[in-house]
Chains A and B, each alone.
Chain A
Amino acid sequence: MLDRRELVRQLLIDRGDLLVVSGLGSATYDVAAAGDHPLNFYLWGAMGGTAMIGLGLALAQPERRVAVLTGDGDMLMGLGSLATIGVKQPKNLAIVVLDNAHYGETGMQASHTKAGIDLVAVALACRFKHARAISRIEEATEVRKLLHAGEGPILVSARISEEDVPRVLPLRDGHAIKQRFIDALNGA
């Protein structure tokens, strides 16, 4: 089982101009803990929408790399978006599901992945170019390379520990998060 904070830290090392969208709850805290960055779009709500924000961004910025980091609960709520992404086949989009098989924000109730629902198999069925599960930190280097150079769409299901970690709270003002991102993307 992976330590979520250490995994996300390693995935975002030397991130360059990588564009990052993080799903509400723990994924947003993990991305913030790895280091605040103007090219992070932190979600605090809109559950189920993270992957689609990644798709809109990837289509708008085909020369840039887009990484969606989110939890299993958010990905399950937006399961249909994997089919939508599969239709568009964005080469520059990768999704990392931080999968602890539980709903961390609401008291650690079991999610569908706990019952064996397989997001990697769903992604492959949705014509993702690459989909895999990881459970060892040694695999982080390879996943980081996928985020920067792998042909998308990519989905990585990272089997993380259920262990609770301290919250690291980034910006919460949606207008500020958006504008900071757009300004950074435009090199302002």
Chain B
Amino acid sequence: MHTPTDIKTSWPDAIYGHFRRVGVRQVGYVPDAGHSRLIELCQADNSIADVVLTTEEEGVGLVAGAALGGQRAALLMQSSGVGNCINMFSLLRNCGFGCVGLITMRGEFGEFNPWQVPMGTITEDVLKLAGFLTYRIDDADAVDDIVGAGCDMAFDGNLQVAILLSQRLIGRKQWTR
């Protein structure tokens, strides 16, 4: 049995605080160790519909549907999930649906699993090509500021914003037997 450890827990609270501030009402996610605390905070909040997805691209449709119905939605995913979404991202850009994506990075700093590296190293470029504004965070102290600005740009301007939470921020994934 492998168990992820060494996940810091302070910055997810700052992200959640901005979800509350800007009125995020739906959150789509595929279960992820890096996002585990943020997912738990959203699940515990009755004003937020937490939607567990079978694949990240479903979340893109969710964001569009939520916006049609007057609600703001956020996506939580790993860098690998970005690759699953590429064609579906055209929905956001083509219709101008505001979206904020919080991307936990794999395949970079201290990655023990080489299978994560090919997608992890192209994630930010892929997002840019798909029309996203991207902001990368390496330092926990910057989370509050950047996530706040990203949420405002996404929802006030109907822009697509991706915030990359680096593997250095999240903490190297350590595996124990």
Chain A residues with CB under 8 Å of chain B are 19, 21, 41, 43, 45-61, 78, 80-81, 83-84, 87-88, 174-175, 177-178, 181-182, 185-186
Are the C-beta atoms of A46 and B90 separated by less than 8 Å? yes
**A50 to B: closest C-beta gap in Å:** 7
With A46-B90, A178-B95, A186-B70 in contact, do A56 and B54 touch (Cβ < 8 Å)? Answer: no
Neighbouring B residues of A81 by C-beta, 8 Å? 54, 58, 61
- Option from B70, B96, B97 in Cβ contact (under 8 Å) with A185: B70
**A23 to B: closest C-beta gap in Å:** 11
Closest B residue to A68 by beta carbon equals B65
Are the C-beta atoms of A56 and B55 separated by less than 8 Å? no
Report the count of interface residues on B (CB-CB < 8 A).
32
Are the C-beta atoms of A182 and B65 separated by less than 8 Å? no
Neighbouring B residues of A87 by C-beta, 8 Å? 51-52
Neighbouring A residues of B55 by C-beta, 8 Å? 80
Q: Is B49 part of the binding interface, using a Cβ–Cβ cutoff of 8 Å?
A: yes
- Option from B60, B69, B71 in Cβ contact (under 8 Å) with A49: B60
A85 CA / B27 CA spacing, docked (Å): 14
Are the C-beta atoms of B66 and A57 separated by less than 8 Å? yes
**A152 to B: closest C-beta gap in Å:** 14
Binary interface profile of B, 67-78, with partner A (CB < 8 Å = 1, else 0)? 111110100000
Q: Is B123 part of the binding interface, using a Cβ–Cβ cutoff of 8 Å?
A: no
